[in-house]
Structure 1
């Protein structure tokens, strides 16, 4: 019996698989190859000059690469119209999902929404978002927080929304606390001249909504309490561009008086980022606004490193306060962040306890195989309708 066809449409921003893309493309790259057998699945993405027009992920899932920019939507619709998939999952571009549904009314079309960004101004107002989402056959979000937010704005969509938390590949991350891992970590620290330093890490884009300024504003407190502290800021404002950003300059200004205690590492591709998690004693996730999920949380947990995070958005669904990390109320983040980090830096048994619990939680609840199995079940259900 011929398999039913399932299309996964990426946002069209980054060529995949590349390692230098947003978390949305990473979800596709990591999840789709793990989907159980049952569909003839193709991924549709953007073309990059000098690269193959048709490729694959892991040599298994075909990737069809189409013209980008203003031509991307029409190219996707043309390709899908020729292939006629039964189900189409459009990643984080709800307007494109709506256009595809109009062009392929017999296909079941889902919008996977990774944040509120593309259903909020300046992209669209609430009324427009409702018109875009209403014709779709399903909406997939990555946290209960995001489901509640979308439902609050569009109550009529409640029954269309499914929650599918994201995941991590445990084998990509070296967990702390076993003798061989600690010996390797010490060797890495010696190579960098950081032996004896206690490491606090931030990983992600350097944007105001990520709250990196809260961590750097706590530097005076951190340095007084933990004189050997080293704060690693791993990331850039943009995924692929090194162009300057005012907020990045502001962060460097905050760090200027403490250059012996701060190191900025530009954007690191996945899975090379695991090197830096392995050095960390604590990972800070000081998100200043509603973070829908935050892959950095599960990556830190996979590395058996405790997280100190705000309670923004879906973070409390991932990091269990007092069990796999410390979760702080967003309004008091600026006042409490430093003290929480210092507490962990000065208490190795607690770091070990929270870190090992985080690794176990990631293994039990946040692996890509689990995300893929839920996605497969949802697509099968839609395909049968």
Structure 2
């Protein structure tokens, strides 16, 4: 099968720094390319040539701009070419125009979150039209599938779940030297209000009095909100929390950051469709303390491979979990071993590609 994957217009493939959608696109494409012919069309970037080949995946880059300007360049690229299936990632409004350009070629809409099926990016009617025009809609978790089915009941019968994954070789445990007594609490993600960094900092502050080891917070991520990162640094100082703010760490190097930590805390305050950072941490052999919301609870199993926090808007439950893992090395090791095992069995990119291949094979019958 010749599969064309149409990436969004915002971030190039591969991403220069990070971008979970673009990371997922290339990771799955490389595994699909082991059994299929795979082409990606992505936005142009000064760092990349207009065409490159990565692990058997052909990537063509076209000029970007507004979503519809980019789409017009994509349509120009595909015109006159033959594909067996087209996958559009996170852009419902691209589905109809591409179907008209490609005729009878089936089009899949792969959604990674609820962001682009609601305001300000799309009205309910526009998003519903995009879903209805797709031959199949892929959601990256059961939680996202349920949310989409509830919002767009007319398309619920065509929605399929395909979990995302992790590169289990790159994100792998290493033996750490005990050069520091500090218990290192890691956050990875965009530093924006919905990700819960204030809750994390307050939790580290509260956990310190109950911890047998000094605590250190490591914040790996930049911010798109002017001044917000500075306000988080100020909050850490005000609380007296020892915190290191790394800024944006390129995804090509983020595995080194996970290896420096003792636990990942994911205190998301709003729905997370999947939560890629959780599987990256788990694959690295880190226990995860995470909000019990959205698709996170499909990955993190309470007291099996991590700890889920039900009252995730409050700092104290996170503080209790941090102190527990700082003080209890045997529990920490048990959770870490199971986390790594679960990633190897359920959350590899190979598993994601196999499931997606099955969905697309049924579409082609």
TM range (shorter): over 0.9
Q: Provide Cα deviations, 1:272-321, integer angstroms capped at 9, x if missing partner.
A: 11111111111100000000001111011101111000011110000001
Residue 224 of structure 1: aligned partner = 209
Match of 1:108?
Answer: 106
Q: Find the aligned partners of 2:298 and 2:40 in 1 and give their Cα distance.
A: 29
Aligned twin of 2:152: 154
Quote the Cα distance in structure 1 between the aligned partners of 2:111 and 2:311: 23
Distance 1:281 1:38, change over 3 A: closer
| CA 1:217–1:22: 2 relative to 1, 3 Å | same
Which of 93, 104, 108 is 1:95 aligned to? 93
Residue 68, structure 1, aligned to residue 64, structure 2: yes
Structure 1: distance between partners of 2:15 and 2:318: 35
Q: Check the 8 A contact 2:217/2:241 in 1, yes or no.
A: no
**CA shift at 1:260, angstroms?**
6.3
Deviation, 1:50, is 5.8
Q: Number of matched residues?
A: 362
Are 2:201 and 1:205 aligned?
A: no
Q: Name the CA shift for 1:153/1:260 in 2 (closer, same or farther; >3 Å).
A: closer
Contact 2:205 2:240 in 1 (8 A): no
Structure 1 residue aligned with 2:275: 294
Using the size of structure 2 for normalisation, the TM-score is: 0.94
Pairing partner for 2:137 from 111, 135, 139: 139
Aligned counterpart, 1:170: 168
- Shift of the 112–130 alpha-carbon distance from structure 1 to 2, 3 Å rule, reads same
Give the alignment partner of residue 43 of structure 1, picking from 29, 40, 50.
40
Does 2:337 match 1:356? yes
Distance in 1 between the 2:311 and 2:200 partners?
13
SS at match of 2:133: coil
151-160 or 213-222, larger mean C-alpha shift: 213-222
Q: TM-score under structure 1 normalisation?
A: 0.90
Distance in structure 2 (CA, Å) of the matches to 1:216 and 1:98: 45
- Change in Cα spacing, 1:352 to 1:140, as seen in structure 2 (3 Å) is same
SS at match of 2:99: helix
Question: What is the CA–CA distance in structure 2 between the aligned matches of 1:76 and 1:166, rounded to whole Å?
Answer: 25
CA offset digits 1:23-81 (Å, max 9, x no partner): 001001211111164432211001113631111223x1110000111331001112112
**8 Å Cα contact 2:271-2:294 kept in structure 1:** yes
User: Does structure 2 conserve the Cα–Cα contact (< 8 Å) formed by 1:286 and 1:333?
Assistant: no
